Amino acid sequence: MELLQEYGLFFAKLVTALVVVLIFVSAVAGVVAKSRERRPDRLTVRKLNDRYRRMEKTIRHAVEGSANWRARLRKKLGWQRGDSSSGERDAGEASGSDAPADESVDKERPRVYVLRFTGDIRASSVDSLREEITAILTLARPEQDRVIVCLESPGGLVPSYGLAASQLARLREKGLDLTVAVDRVAASGGYMMAAVADRIVAAPFAVLGSIGVVAQIPNLHRWLERHDIDVELLTAGEYKRTLTVLGENTDEGRRKFREQLDEAHDQFKTFLSRYRPSLDLEKVATGEHWYGEQAHQLGLADELRTSDDLLLETSREADLFEITYTRPQRLSRRITLAMESIVERVLRSQGPEARL
């Protein structure tokens, strides 16, 4: 009995300690969440040229060894002090950087703005994309500056990706050359975005295409009917609801919804013909997808290479600025978005929605 009493007392203490810890953690999480809510939106600009130079210096130091690295540094410092043996040909290295000579003195080098878009079913990153593009347009020089968008998206809801594509169209309308780089996937709504670009660069095994519209919905009407459960669906407007989850679907409703899908598909094709008129839509707008090399042959992509190679090469002739706009979100909001994304792929509780 004494052993049981001691064990019970120990267990009670343990439970009490755990409760105290949970309360403390919850309080801290609440404070952090509130501080994040108060944190303003943030626009970050990072010069990628500096990143590549640091990488080069690090690997050079490791490969050439400390002695050679110090000798190289002393040589540069000698030029900086006005060493006459350096010659005018090395003016670019006098700044202490590994950049070409003209890079340190040319104040009008081309600017290339780099954006990154990772899409989900709602294209929720469009909220950041629209602000990033607005920021670029405040300073960009038409016909001189360029934009590279590193895009990855399997597609999603029609209105969401229509808005995302329209945001990219703003860049072209302002006279900025636009390149979209696809390393993994730009399908359906993702390809709609990519098609706006002047040039599409794709990795050899990136997935492109899927030019089609799809919608699916489970129907529980017969199961409810077997259990004597009635569902009343009242609408004002003949086609306010065509297909439902719980009610009885009709041939007329199916026909109308099919018409809506066809209309969305026709608009998709019209949009593509505007920006990529060379596409054979009868061949590629079938809902199929293709890997990079196949997509290149079909005209869905203009060049085969990775975004890494594209950015590195571009950095040798232009100043690269990566633009990122972040808007703090509560943890509960992020969890909700993740859950919504999962649920929407399985069930459309408010009726079917067309998806690119």
- Positions annotated as catalytic residues are 188, 240
131-155 as b/e, with b when 16 or more CB fall inside 10 Å?
A: bbbebbbeebeeeebbbbbbbbbbb
Q: Which residues contact 117 (CB under 8 A, 6 or more apart)?
A: 125, 129, 149, 150, 151, 152, 153, 164, 193
Q: Which residues contact 328 (CB under 8 A, 6 or more apart)?
A: 36, 37, 39, 41
Instruction: Judge residue 42's burial from the number of C-beta atoms within 10 Å of its C-beta, 0-12 exposed, 13-18 middle, 19 or more buried.
Output: exposed
For 150, 207, 225, 278, 328, the CA distances from 211, given in Å and listed in that order, are 20, 12, 38, 15, 34
Name the DSSP class of 300.
S
Name the DSSP class of 299.
T
**Sequence letter at residue 320:** L
- CA 94 – CA 101 distance, rounded (Å): 9
Name the DSSP class of 218.
-
- CA 154 – CA 190 distance, rounded (Å): 6
Q: Which two tokens stand for residue 149?
A: 């968008």
Q: Which residues contact 204 (CB under 8 A, 6 or more apart)?
A: 291, 292, 293, 304
Q: Which two tokens stand for residue 261?
A: 């899908």
